[in-house]
Amino acid sequence: MRTKIFMAAMAFLGLASSAVAAPSSYELRLEGHVPVICRVDLQASSASADQATDLGKMTEFCNSAAGYDVWLSHAQGLSGAAVYVDGQKIQLSASGQTLISHSATAASRSHVLRLDPGADAGQVGDLSLRITAL
């Protein structure tokens, strides 16, 4: 008789434990904070301010989720000079700052740059690049 009661109790406990089901899905949240890092580099050879010339390969990286802009700084007051980014002509601004690349998201890209001083030959001055997170 004891054996039958023991077996019945064990069967009941077995059914009771199987009735408590594990959840069908789990959620794991991982959160971290990463600093915004942006950089731009130009692998260039010497360029001529008097004639059209290849500037080299520009590499840009920025992990800002909102994106970034890459600016070319040059002499002010230019009206005939242009830079070509991957073959697309961008007229240099008279302000001395020209937007040459934009991304609406974080990205890592490279472009080929070419300078055409046009009517402003000899007046382009020093060139520099800067990247700004948005």
Residue 82 lies in a domain: yes
Averaged confidence pLDDT in the chain: 85
Angle, CA of 25, 29 and 35, to the nearest 5°: 155
The C-alpha atoms of residue 9 and residue 2 are separated, in whole angstroms, by: 10
Provide the token pair at 35.
């600093």
Residue 86 lies in a domain: yes
The number of domains in the chain is 1
pLDDT single digits (tens) 81-127: 999 999 999 999 999 999 999 999 999 999 999 999 888 777 778 88
Domain extent at residue 85:
38-133
Residue 24 lies in a domain: no
Residue 44 lies in a domain: yes
Question: Where does the chain have alpha helices with state H?
Answer: 2-19
Residue 28 lies in a domain: no
Whole-angstrom CA distances from 56 to 30, 78, 101 are 41, 22, 15
Residue 51 lies in a domain: yes
